[in-house]
A and B are shown apart, each in its own frame.
Chain A
Amino acid sequence: MTMNQLTPELAAPISEAQQVVFLDARMGDPPGVVLSEVVEETALPAGAFTHQVTPAALLAAARQLYGAAPAALLISISGASFEYATELSPVLQARLPQITDQVSTIIELFFQQQENSPSAAGASRLSYGSTKEC
């Protein structure tokens, strides 16, 4: 599911999923660095800005409104340029195959771990991916 931003109405489909993976761009690291972390369900946020719903808040909303929240993973890829454009930057375009492979591997490992040990999701925050540059 491709979204411009996370919105509260995503809580409904999230509550029906067995796992959810959030994939997003990130600033601050050299281009192409892939990071991942398990998203912990938190208490509902105190923020007033519905425009800035976080993955953790969505999980909490899914539990609050629909009674269920799946295991969730956030994968972020550091970008090279955030200027207006219609394509990826050349540096990321060149690294796209490796990035895609790494993201696929991370997702596969996450799903495998869920199958083997669903309760370990909260403990294995940094077991996938790393600061590995593509």
Chain B
Amino acid sequence: MPQTIYIDPVTRIEGHAKVTIHLDDAGEVENAHFHVTQVRGFEKFVEGRPFEEMPSLMARICGICPVSHLIASAKACDALLAVQIPRTAANLRRIMNLAQIAQSHALSFFYLSSPDLLLGMDAEVGKRNLFGVAENQPQLARDGVRLRQIGQQIIELLGGKRIHPAWVVPGGVNEPLAPEKREMMLAMMPEGIMLAERTITWFKPILEQYAEEISAFSAYKTLFMGTVTPNSRLEMYDGNWRIVGKNLEVVADNLNPAKYESFITEAVEPYTYLKTPYYKPLGYPEGTYRVGPLARLNIVSSCGTPRADDKLEFFRSLDFQSSFHYHYARLIEILYCFEMINQLLHDPEIMSDHVRAYAEPNSREGVGASEAPRGTLLHHYEIDQDGLITRANLIIATGHNNQAMDRGVYEVARRFVHGAQLSEGMLNRVEALVRAFDPCLSCSTHAVGQMPLQIQLVAPDGGIVDEIKR
């Protein structure tokens, strides 16, 4: 009987990871870990580059959420210039960010997680993918494809292309919004809102089928962190951070992202290339927090758009500690994104041609933070007198969730994996925990190092017994 089970690779996530589950002699789960097995090195190889290149370089971290990095990077560069960008530029960036979040959430929910949610965690492996969903419920698959398309089309209309658009620049954006593009985006909003609401309506009763998983995904409790407006509403582009505790009590508020080093630091674990940020005053691992859709909706009083706020009411009745409810939170955020884009496009000032502030570098250090699909994202740059990068530090959304994923994997494995009778469904539930976070592992691994891929069967005494690959 194997004493360590490997799930390698974890499927239907962005990036590369594996899970090891260590069994005791009785075949019960003794421990489990989530290992991020890829290395990117962006923080190191940008050293020496002109800071103006950073948004374009940093967008290449990821092909799914490049806009998130574009925006955080551009904001860090705004700080190096020490400029306040025009309000129109901020709102245009905001629209692109919201579109990015909507399309990324659509990918996560429909392409990666809906196979489990629709077909069941124990469904045949070969069917547990988007194409299996398409066979079973074509309308659901079409809705997911269309939601993703709408988000991507908005990004393309604004930035000229869907992936790695070059339109967001230090000081603002490259060009103002053309009237015909505004009309095209507005025309898509009713459909986007309708599809988001239809999906929420479909998904709500599905939750009843997953009571056990919801409970297991709630076993590891954490703080939550995210950006809020001054009146405690959802905010994706700019603002101070709030941290709430395990019972949603406010632990810290009005935290300035530019001062992040005073209240956040990172731990390094030997079994993964992904660093683990935590809230310094509470130490590690007590200061572990989650970010992303579940966290954002937990820390705010309201979304600030009517339909999303209507759905928030049901969300408040759910177990707020269960990572399973990232899915429902993600759908509410898709709805919020389209409602907010609609609002912003109706602001007359969105058509202003004043969209960029120009300056030379006026600061040697700049921090830019925003909300990415997976949570709070931060870029921190230092430059020399010639404007060349001397240091870059990125705290990636997925990184904030590292400890929660790692311990969550353990808790779920403990509940569902029993060595005497292994099943695909058991292991899929462990994967589903990771998938609920929608991790973007290509973004989050940026430390320089080696990249071994080890698949080992490890006995309780630490000896290597065998190699197994799933």
Q: Do A and B come from one complex?
A: yes
Q: Is the CB of B131 within 8 A of A45?
A: yes
Docked pose: A97 CA to B263 CA in angstroms:
59
Q: Kindly list chain A residues whose C-beta atoms are within 8 Å of the C-beta of B126.
A: 46-48
A44's contact among B12, B111, B131, by CB below 8 Å, is which? B131
Write 25 A-B pairs (CB below 8 A) sorted by A numbering.
A4-B163, A8-B141, A9-B145, A9-B152, A12-B145, A12-B149, A44-B131, A45-B129, A46-B125, A46-B127, A47-B126, A47-B129, A48-B125, A48-B126, A48-B129, A49-B11, A49-B12, A50-B112, A57-B131, A60-B131, A61-B134, A64-B135, A64-B141, A65-B138, A65-B145
Most buried by A among B126, B127, B129, B152: B129
The A13-45 residues at the B interface (CB cut-off 8 A) are 44-45
Give chain B's interface secondary structure class: helix
| A131 located at the interface, meaning its Cβ lies under 8 Å from any Cβ of chain B in the complex | no
From A4, A9, A48, contact of B148 by CB (8 A) = A9
Asked whether B280 is an interface residue with its Cβ less than 8 Å from the other chain, the reply is no
Residues of chain B contacted by A50 (CB below 8 angstroms) = 12, 111-112, 129-130
Chain A residues with CB under 8 A of B130: 8, 50
Chain A contact residue count (CB 8 A cutoff) = 19
Q: What residue in chain A is nearest B147 (Cβ atoms)?
A: A9
Decide if A11 is an interface residue (CB 8 Å cutoff): yes
CA–CA, A47 and B138, complex, Å: 18
* Docked CA distance A32–B142 (Å): 38
Q: Is A5 close to B, CB under 8 A?
A: yes
A25–B446 Cα gap in the complex (Å)? 28
Contact A12 B146 (CB under 8 A): yes
Mark each residue of chain B from 105 to 145: 1 if its CB lies under 8 Å from any CB of chain A, else 0: 00000011000000000000111111110110010011001
CB-based nearest A residue for B146: A12
| C-alpha spacing A123/B145, complex, angstroms | 32
Does B460 interact with chain A (Cβ within 8 Å)?
Answer: no
CB pair B148 A61 closer than 8 Å: no
On chain A, the residues within 8 Å of B152 by CB distance are 9
Distance in angstroms from B367 CB to nearest chain A CB is 29
Given A12-B145, A50-B12, A50-B111; 6 other pairs, CB 8 A cutoff = A8-B145, A48-B125, A48-B129, A50-B129, A61-B134, A65-B141
What is the chain B residue whose CB lies nearest that of A45?
B131
Per the bound structure, the CA–CA distance linking A12 and B134 in Å amounts to 13
Knowing A12-B146, A64-B131 are in contact, say whether A48-B11 is a contact too (CB < 8 A).
yes
Contact with B along A56-69 (1 / 0, CB 8 A): 01001100111000
Q: Using a CB-CB cutoff of 8 Å, which residues 309-354 of chain B contact chain A?
A: none
CB-contacts of B1-43 with A (<8 A): 11-12
Query: For the complex, what is the distance from the CA of A19 to the CA of B148, rounded to whole Å?
Result: 24
- CB nearest neighbor in B for A51: B14
Is B63 engaged at the interface, CB distance under 8 Å to the other chain? Answer: yes
State the A residues within 8 Å of B (CB).
4-5, 8-9, 11-12, 44-50, 57, 60-61, 64-66
Measured CB to CB, the nearest residue on chain B to A12 is B145
Could you tell me the distance in whole angstroms from the C-beta of A7 to the nearest C-beta in chain B? 8
Q: How far is the CB of B393 from chain A (nearest CB, A)?
A: 24
- Cβ of B11: which chain A residues have Cβ within 8 Å of it? 48-49
- Which of B111, B125, B127 has most A Cβ within 10 Å? B111
- Residue in chain A with minimal CB distance to B110: A8
A47 to B127, CA, bound (A): 8
* Least CB distance, A63 to chain B, in whole angstroms: 10
Kindly state the separation between the CA atoms of A9 and B127 in the bound complex, as whole angstroms.
19
How many angstroms between the C-alpha atoms of A12 and B294 in the bound complex?
A: 31
> In chain A, what residue has the closest Cβ to B141?
A65
Cβ A8 vs Cβ B111 within 8 A:
yes
From residue A55, how far is it (CB to closest CB) to chain B in Å? 14
Collect the chain B residues with CB atoms within 8 Å of residue A64's CB: 131, 134-135, 138, 141
In the complex, the answer to whether B134 meets A44 with C-beta atoms within 8 Å is yes
Alpha-carbon separation in the docked complex, A57 to B134 (Å): 12
Complex: A48 Cα to B127 Cα, angstroms: 8
Bound complex: CA A11 to CA B127 (Å): 18
The complex places the Cα of A63 from the Cα of B262 at a distance, in Å, of 55
With contacts A48-B11, A60-B131 known, is A9 near B149, CB below 8 A? yes
Cβ A65 vs Cβ B142 within 8 A = yes
CA distance A65 to B12 in the complex (A): 21
Nearest CB of B to A6, in Å: 13
Q: B138 — which chain A residues lie within 8 A by C-beta?
A: 64-65
**Once the chains are docked, how many angstroms separate the CA of A10 from the CA of B107?**
13
- Min CB gap B99→A, angstroms: 14
Residues of B within 8 A of A44 (CB): 131-132, 134-135
Residues of B within 8 A of A47 (CB): 126, 129
Cβ-closest 4 pairs across A and B? A46-B126, A44-B131, A48-B11, A9-B145
CB distance from A57 to the nearest CB of B (A): 7
A60 to B132, CA, bound (A): 12
**Residues of A contacting B141 in the complex (Cβ-Cβ under 8 angstroms):** 8, 64-65
Q: How far is the CA of A60 from the CA of B138 in the complex (A)?
A: 12
A45 to B130, CA, bound (A): 10
The docked-state distance in angstroms from the alpha carbon of A1 to that of B254 is 45
Q: Which residues on the B side are within 8 Å of A9 (C-beta)? A: 145, 148-149, 152
Report whether B134 and A4 are in contact in the complex, using a CB–CB cutoff of 8 Å.
no
Provide the bound-state CA to CA distance between A11 and B112, in Å: 17
Residues of B144-179 contacting chain A, CB below 8 A: 145-146, 148-149, 152, 163
